[in-house]
Structure 1
Amino acid sequence: MQTRGAIIRQAPGKYEVVDLELDRPRQNELLVKMVASGLCHSDDHLATGDLPVGSYPFCGGHEGAGVVVEVGPHTLDWAEGDHVVFSFLAGCGRCRWCATGMQNLCDRGASVLVGSRPDDPSSYRMSLDGQAVAQNSGISTFSEHTTVHVSSAVKVDKDLPLDKLCLLGCGVGTGWGAAVNSAEVYPGHTVVVMGVGGIGMNAVQGAAHAGAAHVIAVDPVAFKRETALALGATHAVATMEEGTEIARSFTNGQGADSAIVTTGVVTGEQVAQAFAAIRKAGTCVVTGLGNAMQMGLPINLVELVLYQKRIQGSLFGASSPSSGIPWMIDLYTSGKLKLDELVTTTYSLDQVAQGFEDMHSGKNIRGVILFD
Structure 2
Amino acid sequence: MKPLELYLHIPFCIQKCNYCDFLSAPSCAGERKVYVESLCQKIRSYKDLAKAYHVVSIFVGGGTPSLLLSKQIEQIFEAVRETFVIDSDAEISLEANPGTVTEEKLQAYRNCGINRLSIGLQSAKDRELKRLGRIHTYEEFLWTYELARKAGFLNINVDLMSGIPLQTLVDWEETLHEVARLKPEHISAYSLIVEEGTPFYERYGNGKHLEELPDEETERKMYYRTREILESYGYHRYEISNYARLGYECRHNLGYWNRTEYLGIGTGAASLIREERWNEGEIPEKLDRKAQMEETMFLGLRTMKGVSKAEFAKTYQRTMESVYGKVLEEMQKKGLLLVGEDQVCLTDAGIDVSNYVMSEFLL
TM-score range, shorter chain: under 0.3
Which TM-score applies when normalising by structure 2? Answer: 0.23
Which TM-score applies when normalising by structure 1? Answer: 0.23
